[in-house]
């Protein structure tokens, strides 16, 4: 709530309507940087690869600038008190992602692969659609509390989204993980990205209603409040769902993301540490249990423990093994502290998914330790703004939704970056905004839109009270 | 709800912190070992990213480089007259690595050698692109051309090695059939196909074998020069013209087998000169038998037998066995039984004789230099051994000169130079069933007494009629053209 401290009058509802800083000009200034930095990066790639400033530089700069400008104007009009950092941060990450994708598009090696598509123009289109969705969210979601009405519909939608990849004929198996669906005419869609938001809405609505029951009706045991048996129901259901995702969609990341998000929201809703303990225990049991019989998960774990062996197997042509993990580590190592510079690395050696799941490795090689740390801090800032929004929100539903979305965002960054850097086993998810992929870009712009709506509601000065006829009267009869 | 929110914030911060620590571990602590991991393809990409330095013969590069159109290696090696020079250069291939000179001098050629550090730093400061250094060889282009053309014209498998006796500089190294290393320099499918076709299992001619250095052949009668040197050094016979104690026919000691001579030649108690002139098996077999295994082995070792030579390209070790009985020693002393030599080894024999008994260490890299021709290191000629005294060497020279003037080596005579030589026809195969190898070793001497070249030629020919094969007939003309080329290039 520090954002309101420079306006001490804000707390008194009578004269708070005027003077609270909207910070829109701060946002605009930051947006200029968020557009200019990727434009320079773009020029840099062109100079490094082709010895010339890329022909599309101007249109790219104008395009990104226009998109950011539209976003900014929409915020000015429909969410004037929203957090000023979120839009510039998302724009910067999205712009840098576009540059990296375009850079990988130039690679002759990737062009020679049968899976190659010119990804940058598509990503630009997705970005435009993403920002459009962001604007739509700001226009039509006048108050985030409206979402509360759709709690149970959200649950249903989320379940459908999560189960879609399992529908025969619709689901697509991409390198083991079944988290994609193929929509004719649209291409591949990753419904999990959207399910993330919809589930957060459901959890927030549900927990807001049930929080008292979950928090208070419990027995104390060994310093922990144990929930009643019947209150364990919801967490068991979500846990079972995560396990099912893990088994049938064989994706550790998606499963971890949803369960982690639920535990975070449950903890915030009930303020009971016991839920965290339960959550950790259950995820450990689930992960170890599934890993003991699901060969795909086992293989991911083996590849994580010994990436060099995995690489050797893939070079020997053993089916189902991938060189990507080791190639990503080499890319990071070869980048060193300062990196090779844009366009001068060889992250294309990762080949498949170099511009999506593994895009962080390109940053690692070309921008080095310094660049990756900066990127991670940008993500940390997004999460921080999200948590701050949750703190500032005045209603429990808003608090829960904001923390759910930011917690899921943080978990996703951790799971993906940790996977690519060999900290944890690889999963099939992508870095928000950086990675190539329409679902990811659209869903994350929607996520930012919702967070900004909540922060706008939170920071918006309370409306001036209706004139009090009594007060008028009193003044009239004042003795003279 | 704000207390758990703050805790979640700390948790999220912890997640990011973990990532930051991991990133520091990867990109700072482990960076160098990942970067220099030989399996990391970037190591190879960097290696092929700069134009490779050249291998130079007589001031002209015999190699070059070309930009590749596909793949991630920017430059690939090209060769001029690749098949002719392959025994000198070896190959360097994006797909198959490198061998021989290309491999041994890779540090210089690819610009990674420490000796190039100063040049590379200077180039970096002045903004020039890094380039590999050059390797200047001792070879003589005209001699190489003559050698390869001679082998090619002859058509059978064979090899030529030529040395400058006074220094040990290798002047020619030819092998036939050969291959063009340009065809396997890249990493494309056509390079892969070419590579497969060159492999011995797919190509019985084994064109990638460097016969001049890496194949050992029974040297046959050319080995009699070594045996004669041993006899003179031991003092068994002191001059070329004293009668030897050599019955004809001679029954090998410890057996009832007669050692035959080829044809009806005057070998009974022949002088060393006459025996070498007519290539008497009986005389030299008996010398070997009389001297014994140890003395023969000692002399052979002085000429370089039994050890690999590093020119710097490694040669196979030539063979002269120990633990042989007298009859085996006798056979070995006429270049049969186990005795086997590389063409370079036999050129070293001729060269030691021509250089008045001093064997110079053979070498083919004269100098390594930076890409802008600043010398980095020059090889100085080095004495390897002294197989025979100057007097004995001169006696042996006069004997070898008689062979060419009036014996089996007449086809090697050169106008304006004195040529000493020795023919050889080595039998091989079970019961001598296969066609023999035709050998000729020789040296040329100019009027001023200097000897610019010693050469060894070997030809293995399946198709020639057996009777036609004799060192004098097939190999001597090639040796002659190589010697002439060297002499002409001196003028």
Is there a contact between B40 and A333 if contact means CB atoms under 8 Å apart?
yes
Q: Which residue of A has its CA nearest to B32?
A: A333
Is A375 inside a domain boundary? yes
Specify whether A96 is located in the same domain as A154. Answer: no
Longest dimension (CA), chain B: 120
DSSP string, B234-258: HTSS-SSSSBP---SSEEPTTSSPE
**Rounded distance between C-alpha atoms, residue B79 and residue B91, angstroms:** 9
pLDDT of residue A479: 60
Taken in order of first residue, the domains within chain B and their CATH numbers are: 213-365+384-490 (3.40.710.10)
Please list every residue in chain A whose beta carbon sits closer than 8 Å to the beta carbon of residue B42. 330, 334, 346, 349
**Rounded distance between C-alpha atoms, residue B243 and residue B224, angstroms:** 17
Is there a contact between B9 and A387 if contact means CB atoms under 8 Å apart?
yes
B316 three-state secondary structure:
coil
Q: Per-residue confidence at A16, pLDDT binned at 50, 70, 90?
A: very low
CB within 8 A of B326, min separation 6: which ones?
Answer: B252, B253, B254, B289, B292, B293
**Residue A247 DSSP one-character state:** I
Tally A–B CB contacts below 8 A.
Answer: 137
pLDDT digits (tens, 9 = 90+) for A62-110: 999 999 999 999 999 999 999 999 999 999 999 999 999 999 998 888 8
Q: Which residue of B has its CA nearest to A407?
A: B12
Domain that holds residue A412: 1-140+316-462
Q: Which residue of B has its CA nearest to A368?
A: B27
In angstroms, what separates the C-alpha of B74 from chain A's closest C-alpha? 12
Specify whether A166 is located in the same domain as A132. Answer: no
- Let me know: does B131 contact B51? Beta carbons within 8 Å: yes
Task: Look over chain A and give the mean of its residue pLDDT values, rounded to a whole number.
Answer: 85
Residue B368 pairs in a beta bridge with B135, B377
Distance of CA B319 to the CA centre of its chain: 15
Is A468 inside a domain boundary? no
**Rounded distance between C-alpha atoms, residue B315 and residue A338, angstroms:** 47
Q: Which residue of B has its CA nearest to A414?
A: B15
Specify whether A115 is located in the same domain as A216. Answer: no
pLDDT surpasses 70 at B488: yes
Q: Per-residue confidence at A5, pLDDT binned at 50, 70, 90?
A: very low
- Rounded mean pLDDT, A13-35: 76
Is A157 inside a domain boundary? yes
pLDDT surpasses 70 at A224: no
Is there a contact between B32 and A364 if contact means CB atoms under 8 Å apart?
no
Is there a contact between A414 and B45 if contact means CB atoms under 8 Å apart?
no
> Which one of B2, B4, B31, B72 makes the best mutation probe of the A interface by having the most chain A beta carbons within 10 Å?
B4
pLDDT of residue B161: 94
B159 three-state secondary structure:
strand
DSSP string, A354-418: TTTTTHHHHHHHHHHHHHHHHHHHHHHHHHHHHHHHHHH-SSHHHHHHHHHHHHHHHHHHHHHHH
pLDDT of residue A392: 92
Specify whether A421 is located in the same domain as A337. Answer: yes
pLDDT of residue A455: 94
Specify whether A165 is located in the same domain as A88. Answer: no
Please list every residue in chain A whose beta carbon sits closer than 8 Å to the beta carbon of residue B40. 330, 333-334
Q: Which residue of A has its CA nearest to B36?
A: A334
Decide if B38 touches A, using CB distance below 8 A: no
Q: Per-residue confidence at A111, pLDDT binned at 50, 70, 90?
A: confident
Decide if B122 touches A, using CB distance below 8 A: no
Please list every residue in chain A whose beta carbon sits closer than 8 Å to the beta carbon of residue B20. 373, 376
List B178, B221, B442, B470, catalytic entry: B221
Specify whether A159 is located in the same domain as A135. Answer: no
Specify whether A180 is located in the same domain as A210. Answer: yes
pLDDT surpasses 80 at A14: no
Decide if B43 touches A, using CB distance below 8 A: no
**Rounded distance between C-alpha atoms, residue A294 and residue A247, angstroms:** 7
Distance of CA B291 to the CA centre of its chain: 30
pLDDT surpasses 90 at A320: no
pLDDT of residue A414: 95
Beta-carbon count within 10 A of B10 CB: 11
Please list every residue in chain B whose beta carbon sits closer than 8 Å to the beta carbon of residue A310. none
Q: Is A477 exposed, middle or buried (0-12, 13-18, 19+ CB in 10 A)?
A: exposed
Among A136-140, A244-248, B217-221, B232-236, where is mean pLDDT lowest? A244-248
Which among B5, B18, B34 is the nearest to A268, CB-wise?
B5
Is A444 inside a domain boundary? yes
- Rounded mean pLDDT, B129-154: 90
Q: What is the share, in percent, of chain A residues with pLDDT greater than 70? A: 87
Please list every residue in chain B whose beta carbon sits closer than 8 Å to the beta carbon of residue A275. none
Beta strand pairing call for B55-57 and B134-137: parallel
Q: Per-residue confidence at B269, pLDDT binned at 50, 70, 90?
A: confident
Specify whether A122 is located in the same domain as A164. Answer: no
Is A368 inside a domain boundary? yes
Decide if B126 touches A, using CB distance below 8 A: no
> Which one of B18, B25, B26, B40 makes the best mutation probe of the A interface by having the most chain A beta carbons within 10 Å?
B26
pLDDT of residue A126: 94
**Rounded distance between C-alpha atoms, residue B135 and residue B115, angstroms:** 13
- Rounded mean pLDDT, A388-410: 94
pLDDT of residue B280: 86
Task: Look over chain B and give the mean of its residue pLDDT values, rounded to a whole number.
Answer: 87
pLDDT digits (tens, 9 = 90+) for A115-142: 788 888 999 999 999 999 999 999 999 9
ipTM (interface pTM)? 0.89
Decide if B129 touches A, using CB distance below 8 A: no
Specify whether A218 is located in the same domain as A129. Answer: no
> Which one of A274, A333, A380, A399 makes the best mutation probe of the B interface by having the most chain B beta carbons within 10 Å?
A333
In angstroms, what separates the C-alpha of A117 from chain B's closest C-alpha? 18
Is A479 inside a domain boundary? no
Is there a contact between A329 and B39 if contact means CB atoms under 8 Å apart?
no
Distance of CA A139 to the CA centre of its chain: 21
Specify whether A129 is located in the same domain as A206. Answer: no
Q: Per-residue confidence at B265, pLDDT binned at 50, 70, 90?
A: confident
Is A477 inside a domain boundary? no
Q: How many residues does chain A have?
A: 480
Place of tokens 């080829």: B262
Between the two ends of chain A, the Cα-to-Cα distance in Å is 44
pLDDT of residue B174: 93
pTM to 2 decimals? 0.73
Is A18 inside a domain boundary? yes
Domain count, chain A: 2
- Let me know: does B159 contact B458? Beta carbons within 8 Å: yes
Decide if B378 touches A, using CB distance below 8 A: no
Specify whether A286 is located in the same domain as A195. Answer: yes
Beta strand pairing call for B157-163 and B134-137: unpaired
Tell me the C-alpha to C-alpha distance, in Å, between residue B66 and each of B70, B129, B185, B304, B375: 12, 16, 10, 40, 25
pLDDT of residue B430: 59
Among A101-110, A184-193, A371-380, A385-394, where is mean pLDDT lowest? A184-193
Q: Is A447 exposed, middle or buried (0-12, 13-18, 19+ CB in 10 A)?
A: buried
Q: Which residue of B has its CA nearest to A113?
A: B71
Q: Per-residue confidence at B429, pLDDT binned at 50, 70, 90?
A: low
Residue B176 pairs in a beta bridge with B158
**Rounded distance between C-alpha atoms, residue A181 and residue A164, angstroms:** 7
Decide if B6 touches A, using CB distance below 8 A: yes
Task: Tell me whether residue B221 is one of the annotated catalytic residues.
Answer: yes
Is there a contact between A268 and B34 if contact means CB atoms under 8 Å apart?
no
Q: What tokens were used for A294?
A: 């699901």
pLDDT surpasses 80 at B71: no
Specify whether A336 is located in the same domain as A427. Answer: yes
pLDDT digits (tens, 9 = 90+) for A326-339: 999 999 999 999 99
pLDDT digits (tens, 9 = 90+) for B33-52: 998 888 888 888 888 888 88
- Rounded mean pLDDT, B333-342: 88
pLDDT of residue A3: 44
Is there a contact between A380 and B9 if contact means CB atoms under 8 Å apart?
no
pLDDT of residue B144: 93
**Rounded distance between C-alpha atoms, residue A438 and residue A433, angstroms:** 10
pLDDT digits (tens, 9 = 90+) for A189-201: 888 889 999 999 9
pLDDT of residue A12: 41
| DSSP H helices in B156-306 | 189-198, 211-214, 224-234, 272-278, 281-291, 293-302
DSSP string, B399-429: HHHHHHHHSTTGGG--TTSEEEEEEEEEEES
In angstroms, what separates the C-alpha of B369 from chain A's closest C-alpha? 30
């Amino acid at each position: 709530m520090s954002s309101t401290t420079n306006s001490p009058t804000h707390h008194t509802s009578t004269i708070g309507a005027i003077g609270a800083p909207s910070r829109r000009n701060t946002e605009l200034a930051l947006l200029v940087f968020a557009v200019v930095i990727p434009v320079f990066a773009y020029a840099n790639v062109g100079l490094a690869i082709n010895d010339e400033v890329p022909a599309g530089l101007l249109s790219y700069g104008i395009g990104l600038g226009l998109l950011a400008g539209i976003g900014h104007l929409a915020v000015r009009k429909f969410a004037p008190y929203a957090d000023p950092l979120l839009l510039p941060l998302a724009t910067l990450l999205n712009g840098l992602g576009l540059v990296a994708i375009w850079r990988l598009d130039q690679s002759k090696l990737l062009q020679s692969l049968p899976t190659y598509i010119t990804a940058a123009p598509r990503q630009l289109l997705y970005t435009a659609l993403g920002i459009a969705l962001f604007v739509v969210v700001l226009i039509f979601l006048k108050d985030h509390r409206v979402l509360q009405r759709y709690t149970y519909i959200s649950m249903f939608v989320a379940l459908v989204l999560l189960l879609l990849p399992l529908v025969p004929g619709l689901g697509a198996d991409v390198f083991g993980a079944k988290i994609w669906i193929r929509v004719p005419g649209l291409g591949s869609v990753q419904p999990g990205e959207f399910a993330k938001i919809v589930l957060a809405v459901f959890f927030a609505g549900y927990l807001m209603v049930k929080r008292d029951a979950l928090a208070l009706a419990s027995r104390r045991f060994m310093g922990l409040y144990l929930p009643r048996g019947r209150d364990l129901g919801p967490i068991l259901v979500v846990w079972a769902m995560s396990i099912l995702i893990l088994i049938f969609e064989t994706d550790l990341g998606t499963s971890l993301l949803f369960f982690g998000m639920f535990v975070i929201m449950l903890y915030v809703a009930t303020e009971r540490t016991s839920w965290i303990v339960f959550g950790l225990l259950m995820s450990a049991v689930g992960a170890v249990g599934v890993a003991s019989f699901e060969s795909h998960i086992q293989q991911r774990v083996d590849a994580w423990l010994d990436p060099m062996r995995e690489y050797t197997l893939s070079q020997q042509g053993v089916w189902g093994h991938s060189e990507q993990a080791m190639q990503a580590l080499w890319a990071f190592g070869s980048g060193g502290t300062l990196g090779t510079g844009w366009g001068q690395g060889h992250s294309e050696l990762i080949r498949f998914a170099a511009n999506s799941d593994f895009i962080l490795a390109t940053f690692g090689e070309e921008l080095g330790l310094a660049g990756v740390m900066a990127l991670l801090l940008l993500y940390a800032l997004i999460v921080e703004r999200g948590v701050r929004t949750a703190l500032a929100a005045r209603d429990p539903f808003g608090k829960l939704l904001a923390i759910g979305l930011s917690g899921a965002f943080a978990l996703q960054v951790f799971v993906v970056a940790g996977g690519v850097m060999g900290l944890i086993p690889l999963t099939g998810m992508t870095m928000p905004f950086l990675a190539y992929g329409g679902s990811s870009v659209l869903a994350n712009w929607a996520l930012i839109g919702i967070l900004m709506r909540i922060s706008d509601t939170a920071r918006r000065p309370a409306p001036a009270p209706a004139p009090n006829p009594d007060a008028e009267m009193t003044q009239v009869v004042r003795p003279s | 709800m704000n207390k758990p929110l703050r805790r979640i914030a700390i948790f999220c911060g912890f997640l990011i912190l973990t990532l930051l620590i991991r990133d520091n571990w990867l990109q700072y602590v482990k960076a160098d070992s990942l970067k220099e991991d030989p399996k990391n393809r970037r190591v190879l990409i960097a290696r092929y990213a700069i134009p490779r330095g050249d291998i130079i013969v007589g001031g002209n590069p015999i190699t070059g480089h070309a930009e590749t159109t596909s793949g991630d290696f920017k430059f690939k090696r090209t060769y001029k007259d690749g098949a002719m020079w392959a025994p000198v250069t070896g190959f360097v291939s994006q797909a198959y690595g490198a061998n021989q000179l290309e491999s041994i001098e890779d540090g210089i050629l690819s610009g990674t050698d420490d000796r190039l550090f100063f040049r590379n730093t200077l180039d970096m400061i002045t903004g020039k692109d890094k380039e590999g250094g050059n390797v200047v060889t001792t070879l003589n282009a005209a001699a190489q051309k003559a050698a390869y053309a001679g082998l090619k014209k002859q058509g059978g498998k064979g090899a030529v090695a030529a040395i400058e006796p006074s220094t040990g500089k290798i002047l020619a190294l030819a092998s036939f059939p050969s291959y063009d290393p340009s065809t396997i320099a890249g990493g494309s499918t056509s390079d892969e196909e070419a590579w497969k076709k060159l492999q011995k299992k797919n190509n019985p001619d084994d064109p990638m074998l460097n016969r001049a250095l890496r194949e050992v052949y029974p040297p046959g009668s050319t080995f009699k020069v070594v045996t004669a040197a041993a006899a003179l050094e031991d003092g068994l016979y002191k001059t070329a013209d004293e009668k030897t104690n050599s019955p004809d026919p001679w029954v090998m000691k410890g057996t009832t087998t007669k050692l035959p001579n080829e044809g009806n030649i005057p070998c009974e108690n022949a002088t060393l000169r006459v025996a070498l002139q007519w290539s008497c098996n009986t005389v030299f077999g008996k010398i070997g038998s009389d001297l014994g295994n140890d003395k023969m082995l000692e002399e052979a070792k002085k000429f370089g037998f039994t050890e690999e030579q590093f020119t710097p390209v490694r040669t196979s070790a030539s063979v002269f066995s120990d633990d042989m009985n007298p009859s085996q020693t006798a056979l070995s002393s006429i270049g049969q039984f186990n005795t086997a030599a590389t063409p370079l080894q036999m050129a070293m024999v001729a060269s030691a004789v021509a250089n008045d008994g001093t064997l110079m260490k053979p070498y083919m890299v004269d100098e390594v230099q930076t890409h802008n021709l600043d010398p980095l290191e020059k090889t100085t000629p080095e004495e390897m051994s002294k197989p025979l005294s100057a007097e004995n060497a001169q006696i042996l020279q006069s004997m070898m000169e008689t062979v060419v003037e009036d014996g089996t080596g007449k086809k090697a005579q050169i106008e304006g130079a004195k040529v000493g030589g020795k023919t050889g026809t080595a039998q091989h195969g079970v019961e001598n069933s296969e066609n023999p190898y035709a050998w000729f070793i020789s040296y040329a001497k100019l009027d001023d007494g200097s000897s610019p070249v010693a050469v060894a030629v070997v030809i293995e020919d399946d198709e020639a009629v057996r009777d036609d094969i004799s060192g004098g007939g097939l190999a001597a003309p090639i040796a002659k053209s190589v010697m002439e080329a060297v002499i002409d290039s001196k003028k």
